[in-house]
Structure 1
Amino acid sequence: MASSIKDEKTYEALRDEGASKEKAARIANASANEGRSTVGKRGGEAGTYEDMTKEQLYEQAKKVGIDGRSDMTKEELIEALRDH
């Protein structure tokens, strides 16, 4: 199956920063279609997973359907969210 990522460099940078696969792909593809400066101007201030509490991470994991989240540490939740 061919990759549907149009801007691999942006995608990888976002994944390294903690963005989910879906979010990184969405932003990378928008960047390729509209230009990085256009996408960057409307970007949010989400922060990183490390800035979130364990409870916030748990709720995010619940929202995206990560199994086993109730037994995970904060670090494990961050890893699971990044790998999702």
Structure 2
Amino acid sequence: MLGQLDDSQVPRNIRTSSQGAVEKWLLNENKDMDVRLGMTASILDEIFNDPNLPGHYGTLCLQIQAALETMLNEISRS
């Protein structure tokens, strides 16, 4: 699902932000998992509110954000 974030039909600034969230936060093993998940979900939420966001990309952002929040909830329960 994360590979779909690199969509050439999406404005470059939105693609860059989403890819940056994944690279800087989600895949950063130097940070705690809850921070990684939370920050990535937060950035995707900001991207979702961008008025230039294509509809199909917004749906993808919401799907990824929901999966991240599910994982975050599982971590916080343990």
Give the TM-score normalised by the residue count of structure 1. Answer: 0.29
Q: Which has more helix, going by share of residues?
A: 2
TM-score of the superposition, structure 2-length normalised?
A: 0.30
Higher Rg: 1
